[in-house]
Amino acid sequence: MAVLSYTLIIFAAFGGFLLSLYIRHKKQRGEKMICIVGSDCDSVVQSDYSLFLGMPVELLGLFYYGLIGISYGIFLAVPHFTSPLLIFSVLVFSTVALLFSLYLIFIQAFVLHRWCTWCLMSAGFSAVIFIFALVGSEFGFITLLSQHHELIAVLHIISAAVGLGSATVTDVLFFKFLKDFKISEWEAGVLRVLSQIIWFALAVVVISGVGLYLPEMAELNQTPKFLVKVIAVLVIIVNGAFLNLLVTPRLVKISFGKKHHHEIGELHHTRKIAFALGATSIISWYSAFILGSLRSLVINFAPLLLIYLSLLALGIVISQLFEHLFIKRSGE
């Protein structure tokens, strides 16, 4: 089963590599991308979201598919020199790639409102690689996770700290940028990069969290602190999707004065939502981080959840008061 799975993974990686190379070739030559079944591939691959942390997405694809193809080629050629840890590490890498593909699909569906057939094909290759990597795994990963618990815990803490710090900086800069009651294109670019850092950190938090959860599943399922932390992380994911991928781009578009259907008071309403979601983000990040740090905290689930929800409500109320001060200063 492993041999068949690894072979299919290599073919999928080869297909993904060629696809990424094709997109890179078209972009470098400035040629228009034509979708196989219509839609608007060129608008997608030339958009602001075609870069992730300053790196073209197709270059990341070339690196990923090349690494996967070489790795599983080695697994097939010299299986005796392949360790369970190495296979598991590549599987984790494939999981990150799958999550990144889902992120890009979300961007196409809800931010750009355009589809790229080639990008969807790449997401399909990522899904095939992940599925067969999971199916072809013949090692006891739960035992492996237990053996490397401390390493995974360190990775989890570091990624949580990066996400928390980036979310804090994003909120501070957001308020700073709004001092002139609008967001410039340069300021939007800064917020976009910070958003990408937050999403990357969040992906690592989730994957490393799963790695910590699986070996201690029975115990953690009975731990109120852990359950409330999971709720906080889910809130971060949903809230972040609305704030960074839907609300902020709309606020920026209004601030730029770009051509769109203008509605009376839309800047005010969008800004109120942005302030509320920003408060939700920062409170949820701090709550998840603190809950993960307090080892000796003993409190039942209901009171702990009530505290978290109360902090969220308080934060949203305060955010709306701040937004009201902005209204008074701007004379809207």
Query: Comparing C-alpha atoms, which of 90, 98, 81, 206 is closest to residue 137?
Result: 90
Sequence-ordered list of residues with C-beta below 8 angstroms from that of 73, at least 6 positions apart, any chain: 10
Question: How many domains would you assign to the chain?
Answer: 2
pLDDT number for residue 226: 92
**Whether residue 270 sits in one domain with residue 149:** yes
Per-residue pLDDT of the chain (332 residues; tens, 9 = 90+): 678 889 999 999 999 999 999 999 988 888 888 787 667 788 888 888 888 988 999 999 999 999 999 999 999 888 887 777 788 888 889 999 999 999 899 888 888 888 888 899 999 999 999 999 888 776 567 887 888 888 889 999 999 999 999 999 988 887 777 666 666 777 777 888 888 899 899 999 999 999 899 899 988 998 999 999 999 999 999 998 887 777 776 766 655 444 545 454 556 677 788 889 989 999 999 999 999 888 777 889 999 999 999 999 999 999 999 888 877 766 55
**Whether residue 153 sits in one domain with residue 134:** no
Report the CATH number at residue 74. 1.20.1440.130
**Whether residue 174 sits in one domain with residue 127:** no
The C-alpha atoms of residue 195 and residue 174 are separated, in whole angstroms, by 12
- Pick the last residue of a domain from 138, 169, 198: 138
**Whether residue 104 sits in one domain with residue 251:** no
**Whether residue 151 sits in one domain with residue 134:** no
CA 259 to chain centre: 29
**Whether residue 83 sits in one domain with residue 152:** no
pLDDT number for residue 314: 96
Give exposure, 33-48, as e/b (b: 16+ Cβ within 10 Å).
bebeeebbbbbbbebe
Quick one: three-class SS letters along 220-236? Answer: HCCCHHHHHHHHHHHHH
> pTM score, two decimals?
0.81
Give one word for 30, left, alpha or beta, with left for phi > 0 and alpha for psi -120 to 50.
left
User: What would the two tokens of residue 262 be?
Assistant: 């203008």
Contact predicate 78/155, CB 8 Å: no
- Pick the last residue of a domain from 105, 138, 171: 138
Give one word for 38, left, alpha or beta, with left for phi > 0 and alpha for psi -120 to 50.
left
**Whether residue 189 sits in one domain with residue 110:** no
**Whether residue 279 sits in one domain with residue 259:** yes
**Whether residue 234 sits in one domain with residue 131:** no
**Whether residue 98 sits in one domain with residue 17:** yes
The C-alpha atoms of residue 281 and residue 240 are separated, in whole angstroms, by 7
Structural domain span for residue 168: 145-330
**Whether residue 153 sits in one domain with residue 107:** no
**Whether residue 226 sits in one domain with residue 134:** no
- Pick the last residue of a domain from 107, 138, 169: 138
Contact predicate 245/109, CB 8 Å: no
